[in-house]
Structures are given as structure tokens and as C-alpha cells.
Chain A
Amino acid sequence: MSANPFDTPPLLDAARSLRGPGNMQSKRMRLNSVRRYAVNHLVTGLAVLSTLLVIAPLIAILAYLIYKGASSLNLAFFTHIPAPVGEPGGGMANAILGSGIVLGLASLMGIPIGIAAGVYLAEFGRGRLLATAIRFTADVLNGVPSIVMGIAIYSLIVMQQKHFSAFAGGVALAVMMVPTITRTTEEMLATVPHAIREAALGLGVPKWRTVLSVSLKTASPGIITGCMLAFARVAGETAPLLFTALGNQFWSYKLTEPIAALPLQIYAYALSPYDEFHRLAWAGSLVLIVMIMVAVSLVRIYASRGVLKGAS
């Protein structure tokens, strides 16, 4: 802070100088500078205070979560299915598996489409009106509330098939992943130097091969980052799964049946009146957050080391 030489006459000095002799003009100027430095320090203080105020809830949330979650985690949480009401014990093994299945399904559908759309925007659509429109639509789709995505997929798949299913949940999450992945893929491809593409094309490599083996390969660290971030984002989504995957108290592997998912189970247990269920909800939240944070942290480390700094 002391790097700025214009801060050097501190408040006290300015105030002291008021007492010295001088005409009205300079006195007013000095008074003015007292005010200016006072405002400067006030605002600096406010900025620091607001930063502390923002960090405090995060620390509070994380600390409370770790405290409550860690004290209720045990092996049974990872191996057992939920116990009936009133019985102690039980776990969320089926929800962890269910989340894995739904997220895997979403990634299978969302990642290829997202990357391909990004490839179009960066490699084929540069400067075209269509590409600009698609880019804008992707950004807007990114902001559509997840609950709307949930009822749209419900209206499409669940109403047609007349039953809730893991597949519908996967589609809802996939749709949410696409815009994020598209935009990061495009941004990452834009950082690939043109000289590399031209070198490949100059050797007679067809365009499609250039895109796949040169552009995408060069940009792959950033694209993987984008995919991981999209994954982390949908991993905690509850709203789109409420009316698609629905949740399940038992083991379920079939894509055509309702399936449990960690966020759904946390939601259901948080609103239940039983202490045992609250305990499981905290444990589930801790597991979910640790999963997401590990993914995000890995991405950040990866991104800060990789060629494409600032990818995340």
C-alpha cells in the first residue's frame, strides 16, 4: 500500500499543517486534502472489511460442514443403503452410485456435443453471423435456471414415457453442461496459434485431421479444464433431478428406473424431521463438496501449470 507516493502525507500530517500560518486559500486547500485523505482511508477500510465479510461466511459454512460432516461419516455411509425411519445407521451408497451413473450419462452426451459445438465456433464459424448468434445463445442458455431445465425434460421424456428415469436425469444434466463446455472449448481453441494449423494444412493434412490432431490436441489441457468445471457444476445440481431422476431409497442400476442421487438425498433428508437423517445429510454434503472441490482444485493446478494460463 505504501507503494503509492501520493499517500505519503498521512491524515495526521495534513491535519497538523492546518494550524500553520497561511492565507485562506491554502487553508481551504489543506482542509480539502484532509477530507480527501480521510475518504481515501475510509474507502480502503471498507474494501478490506467487505472482503473479510465475504470470506467469513465461506469459512463458517466450510468449518461447520466439516465439523458436522466428519463427525457423522463412517464406513456404513459408503456401503449401506438408507435405513428405514427410526432405525439407526444406514448410508448413501446407492446415492453415490446413482450420482455416478447419472453424471456419467450426462458427460457421455454433453461433452462430445459441447466440444463439437466449440470446434464449430472456433474453427469453422470465425467471424460469421451464425457463430456469433450461437455464442450468444450458449451464454444465455448458461443462465437458464436449472429448475426450468428440469421441467422441460420432465415434459419431454418423463411425460412421454410415463415414468421417472435415470436417463431423463442424465439428459437434463447434459443439457446444462453443453453451453459451458462449448464456450471454454472455443476460447481455448482461439488461443492455439494459427502457425501450427497452417503448418499442418501446408503438409497436405486435411482440415478435419488438422482440427482433431493439431488444434484440439494443443488446446486439450484447457478443454479438459472446461469439461471438469462443467462436471463440477452439474454434480451438485438438485433442481433438474427432482422431476427426472426422482430419487430412490434402494439400489438401482437401470437407466429406465428412478435413481438415487447425492444432492437429491441431501435435500430429502435436510427437510425430514429426524436427527439421524440430518446427520446423513451433513455427511452427504461433505462428501459432495469434497468431490467437487477436489475437481475444481485439480483443474486450477492443471490450468496454472499448463500452456493455457487463466483457463479456469
Chain B
Amino acid sequence: MTPPQMTIEREPNPSMPAKPLTAVTNFVAASVAAPEGAPSPIRQFLRARGSGGVADKTFAAVMLVCALSIFAIVLFILTILIARSKLTIAQFGFHFLTRSAWDPVSGDFGALPFIFGTLATSLLALAMAVPLALGVAVFLTELCPQKLRAPISFVTELLAAIPSVVYGLWAVFVLVPIMRDSLGPFLSKYLGWTGFFEGYNFGVGLLTASIILAIMILPIISSITRDIMLAVPTSQREAVLALGATRWEMIRTGVLRNARIGIVGAIILGLGRALGETMAVTMVIGNHPDISKSLFAPANTLASVIAGEFSEATGDMYLSALIEIGLALFLVTIVVNAIARALVWAVTRGTPARAN
């Protein structure tokens, strides 16, 4: 509303004729206006417009319904996923999660290979991304010259804006050849004795998927860690420095130790993102339900098996198994995200929500 409209009009709006004093008007108006005889123009106007009680209640109710729809969405996803996967739930029960069979032809399903693939890629990606993300956050908050701060954080946020499918495209045409021709042979030559880099190297597989995942979750972890470190009061830093600490000792004891809960939260948020990441992983993981010690071996994650096989799932059992995998993924990410949010909230209350 523009300011002139907010001031009280002298002449009531002709489309809203002044109503006589009725029971609708509130108690205060009646008791004050009555002894003076004719009500003032201001009061007439207010009365003409009505108390707004009904409109207010309706408005509040509409807003409430929209807010409750968020609950409804979550509940609804849960119920529909359970309803559509009841075939496999009935047949396999909880053993579905621990069976390693995946044979659509004979209708024998188990989610273990995909749980393994999801955990392996996510944890490997975290192992690669977390040190780097912490380094970036430390650099941005404590070391970086003021001038460089905005451009670098802008660039890391651009990384977050690139769609998953484009990362996948890049991985298929750039990362996979690198893995196949240079990095893979290098790893198997020098680290082959560990047993993690054995077997034939196609370029696609667990390791490639983990690397692209690490690149994708880096910006999330580093930007939240940065926010949390910025929330540590400057007086903490000054106090540690005043005791004669070097800059690193100041960062370690003054900043990282204070921010550790929030940093753990940021890492778990990154984990949540890595668990559910679909497109880029589907494009480079090799899509094969195997549990293998070698990181070169093709595998499959919970998300990528849905993306890869859902459209060809013909039988009811097959579809039901895939939907149950979706249900498992949903529940796991809900739990992981709830823990992470609670931790991050505990540290940075009242800072703006991030679009991640």
C-alpha cells in the first residue's frame, strides 16, 4: 500500500456506504462513540470498512494451509512410496536391505549392492572433499585478502549452480578418458598393492563417480563452513593472538574448535547431498550391481539404479523393488539431513537460509 492510502481518508469510499452502528462494530468503538452522538468521520470510515476480522482470519488460515502443505508433501511422499512398494516389502521384509541378489528376470531383489555403492561413493567423495573444503573456508575467512574474498566465494557458489547433468556430461567426456588413460594406470602401478586399484580399468566406476561427487559437494560444504567460521566472534581470535599464538594456532584453537559442531553439520549436509546425487553418478558409475573391493569396478548407487532402470522396469515386482529403493533413500537422507540441520542450527541461528 502506498503511503497516501495509509492515511485516513476524509471522505468514505462511495462504494462502501457507511453502515449504521451495529453489533458488528467492536466494544471500544461503541462505548466511546455512543455518548458523543454523531460519530466522527474517522470512525465512520473505519466502521464502513469493517473490522477486517473475517478477512484476517481467512488470510491467516490460507497461509497456515500453505505452510502445512510442507508437512503434507513429506507425509505424502512417504505414504505413496510405501503403498507402491508393498509387493517387495511383503515378500522380502527387512531382508530386502541385506540381500545382494538383483535378478529382474526371476524376480529376486535385494538392495545391498546399491547400499554399498552409495556408501562407498559418498564416503570416498567426502574423504576427498572435506579437507579441500576446510582449506577453502579457512582461506576465505582467515587468510584471504579482502579484495579476493568476494570473487572466490562467488566462483565457489557458481560451482553449486552448475546442473548435475552438465557435471555428468563433463565427466563422461573429460574425466573418464583421464581416468582410463592416465590417472587409472598411475594408481594401479603405484598403489596396486593395496588391492583397491585392481582389475580392468574402463574409466567408469566407483572412483570416477566419487571424484565427480567430490567436485559437486565441495561448494556446499565450504560455503556452510565459511558461514559458520564467520559466526565465531572476532574477540575469540584476538584473545588467542594476544597470547602469542601463530595464525594457525589461532585458527585451530580459536576458530575451528569453536565451530566444530557446525562444521560436522556442514559435512553431514554434504553427505546428504552425495547420497542422493543422481545424474552425474549414473552417467559415470558403470551401472552394474556388484560389490567389489576394486575402485575401478563398475557399481551402482541407490539413486543411479532408479534413474537407470526405472523406465525399463516391466514387472510389478521390479517396479516395486525400485520404489522400495527410493523409499530407503528417502528415509536415509531425511535422517542424515535432520541431524545435519540440527547441528548447523545449533551454531548459526538466525543466519539466512542457503539455497542448497
Contacts and interface: CB of A to CB of B under 8 A. Distances in A.
Interface stretch (B10-18, B107-115, B158-166, B190-198): B158-166
A62 B154 CA distance: 14
Given A236-B165, A266-B166, A292-B163, A136 B341 contact: yes
A147 B276 contact: yes
A306 B260 CA distance: 33
Interface string A20-47: 0000000000000000110110011011
B91 interface: no
A104 to B, nearest CB: 18
Given A64-B170, A117-B67, A208 B84 contact: no
Nearest to B65: A116
Contact of B74 (A7, A117, A137, A278): A137
Contacts of A205: 1, 6
Interface residues of A, number: 112
Contacts of A119: 63, 66
Most B Cβ at <10 Å: residue of A49, A50, A209, A233: A50
Contacts of B307: 147, 239, 242
Contact of A137 (B71, B218, B244, B311): B71
A297 B138 CA distance: 25
B275 interface: yes
Contact of B215 (A6, A57, A134, A186): A57
A285 B2 CA distance: 44
B246 interface: yes
Interface in A212-237: 213-214, 217, 226, 229-230, 232-233, 235-237
B132 A50 contact: yes
A116 B67 contact: yes
A239 B168 contact: no
Contacts of A141: 70, 73-74
A236 B166 contact: yes
B81 to A, nearest CB: 6
A214 B215 CA distance: 43
22 contacts: A7-B247, A36-B246, A40-B249, A43-B248, A47-B135, A113-B66, A117-B70, A134-B67, A134-B71, A148-B326, A148-B333, A152-B76, A155-B84, A180-B355, A206-B55, A217-B1, A229-B355, A236-B163, A236-B166, A243-B310, A271-B283, A282-B169
Given A51-B152, A61-B166, 5 more contacts: A116-B66, A120-B63, A148-B329, A182-B70, A266-B166
Interface of B: 1, 6-8, 46, 51-52, 55-56, 58-60, 62-64, 66-71, 73-74, 76-77, 80-81, 83-84, 131-136, 138-140, 142-145, 152, 154-159, 161-170, 172-174, 215, 218, 222, 241, 244-249, 251, 269, 272-273, 275-279, 283, 303, 306-307, 310-311, 322-323, 326, 329-330, 333-334, 336-338, 340-341, 350, 352-353, 355-356
Please provide the 8 A-B residue pairs with the shortest distance between their CB atoms, ordered closest to farther.
Answer: A236-B163, A145-B276, A50-B135, A206-B52, A213-B1, A183-B353, A116-B66, A143-B337
